[in-house]
Amino acid sequence: MTGVPAQAFSKHDHGACCRSVMNTARRLCVARGVRLTPVREKVLELLLESHVALGAYTILARLADAGFRSQPPVAYRALDFLVAHGLVHRVEKLNAYVACNQPQAGHSPAFMICSHCHQVAETVGKTRSGVLGKTAQAIGFDIQHTVIEAEGVCATCQKRAVS
């Protein structure tokens, strides 16, 4: 793993965090010649509201509250686009989605999931140069995609449990 901060579990300026990711997403879409449509942008905004992963139906309900069509394909198409362009990640364990905190970097994310508060922290996994990558190389295996998810309890929830 690299030293990328796991912002979900640390104090940070969340407004600046959101603005930075949203601005990067807009720039990347322009550079790639793809459109960040209003519904795609809204889905990304919803995912940036907190570091808690959201399921597709929660996103759909929040889209409807915001005045968008409430048909499942609306949410799924937006999520598919955002995932395909590295702006959002699917957290397999939760069957939910989180905004990528480093959308400009091609990387293999690793997730730390708090089983109490359900926040998800993203860091970058070194799958090619780490132990997994070296093992794969030794047996002639070409890693195409990895999903690393660790479930545990964040420091805040640990402190609450002790109090």
For the chain, domain boundaries: 7-162
Alpha-carbon gap, residue 58 to 111, rounded angstroms: 20
- CA-to-CA distance for 55 and 51, rounded, in angstroms? 13
Q: Give the pLDDT confidence score for residue 114 in this predicted structure.
A: 92
CATH number of 7-162: 1.10.10.10
pLDDT at 2: 38
φ, ψ (nearest 5 deg) of residue 99: -70, 140
> What is the phi/psi pair of residue 31, to 5°?
-65, -35
pLDDT at 3: 39
> Could you read off the pLDDT of 119-161 as tens digits, one per residue?
898 887 666 667 888 888 899 998 887 778 999 999 889 988 8
Residues 149, 11: Cα–Cα separation, whole Å? 22
